Amino acid sequence: MLIASGDALIDFVPTRNADGREAVMPAVGGSCLNVAIGMARLGAPTGFVGGISTDLFGRLIADHAAASHVELGLSTRSDHQTTLAFVRIVAGESHYAFYDAETATRNWTYRRGSVPFDTVEVLHVGSTTLVNDQGAAETKALIADARMSSTISFDPNCRPNLVRDKPAYLARMAEFAQSADLIKMSDVDFAYLFGDEPYQQRASTLLGQGTSLVVVVTRGNNGAIAWHAGAGQIEVTAPKVAVADTIGAGDSFQAALLFALHKQGRLARQQLKVINADELRRALSFAANCAGLTCTRPGADPPWSHEITWSP
């Protein structure tokens, strides 16, 4: 099984009403839940670990995940309210306002031994769950149990408006990166975390710490770049599409990358270390195409297997 752990929320996505005035439309989101949904829709056995409310919005989240074939047996339902995120598109980038106090996601706790990691090929973590102390601590405990048998995937998916102490946050992200086998970040995330440092230089540092694969992605129309200790640097182009918005595009990329590595038999830690350049390029190209398709429709709506076919 492939699992993702972290945020599950409702995005209020910008739209227009019949009079042409600005309006918002609720859509199920949360970076880690999006990754789980993306993997499941492509056909991988997938589960989600995290907190989901029993309120109105929580039921929307659970129904949406179940309809996408995500296994929710490892998640925790509670009567804490659902996290809400309001989205505005500014110069092509999504900007968020979060309402996340005392929510089901914020109050989630990991039950040691509750996840059968001997059957889990990859654990994906990241995003807003790691901003607060409790979420970060619970995720560290989850990784500690997972790491013996499962590949660790990490996407910081930074949300600067939630960060109150940037030096502490940067140190925390560095700690999670050290525990990861696969790291993906957008160019915007990279700039927030590392400033003007060259991509190659930071990739070399991360690979030197033991990470197998570093991906810098979501560079708009410039595609994606990956660095691998054995396969070297790989670059793929982005498909040309009519963009509705970019919400969930990075999550779709991540889901499709993990799915493609899974289909190639290269997702397990030791197999990821020996992936060759051609295999990695095919996985990255598939991920870029899935992200492009996601951009053609509003909200986080990753593709299904009948919409885009994986070809080994």
What DSSP character marks residue 168? H
How much of the chain, in percent, has pLDDT values that exceed 90?
Answer: 74
What is the token pair recorded at 11? Answer: 């995005």
Helix (H) or strand (E) holding 16: strand 9-16
**DSSP E strands, 101-218:** 122-126, 151-155, 182-186, 213-217
Which of 49-63, 101-115, 171-185 is least confident?
A: 101-115
CA distance 275 to 265: 9
Handedness of CA 301, 306, 311, 312 (dihedral sign): positive
Which distant-in-sequence residues (6+ apart) come within 8 Å of 70 by Cβ?
33, 36, 37, 40, 46, 47, 48
pLDDT over threshold 90, residue 151: yes
Q: Which residue has the higher pLDDT, 241 or 65?
A: 65
What DSSP character marks residue 231? T
Mean pLDDT of the chain: 92
Nearest-CA neighbor of 284 among 194, 212, 216, 229?
Answer: 216
**DSSP E strands, 127-219:** 151-155, 182-186, 213-217
Q: What is the mean pLDDT of residues 7-23?
A: 85
Provide the pLDDT for residue 18.
78
Query: What is the per-residue pLDDT across 197-232, written as a single tens digit (0 to 9) for each?
Result: 999 999 999 999 888 888 876 666 788 999 999 999
Provide the pLDDT for residue 217.
65
Query: What is the per-residue pLDDT across 265-293, written as a single tens digit (0 to 9) for each?
Result: 999 999 999 999 999 999 999 999 999 99
Provide the pLDDT for residue 172.
97
pTM here is 0.94
Provide the pLDDT for residue 180.
96
Which distant-in-sequence residues (6+ apart) come within 8 Å of 172 by Cβ?
130, 136
pLDDT confidence bin for 25, thresholds 50/70/90: confident
Judge contact between 83 and 9, C-beta under 8 A: yes
Judge contact between 65 and 302, C-beta under 8 A: no
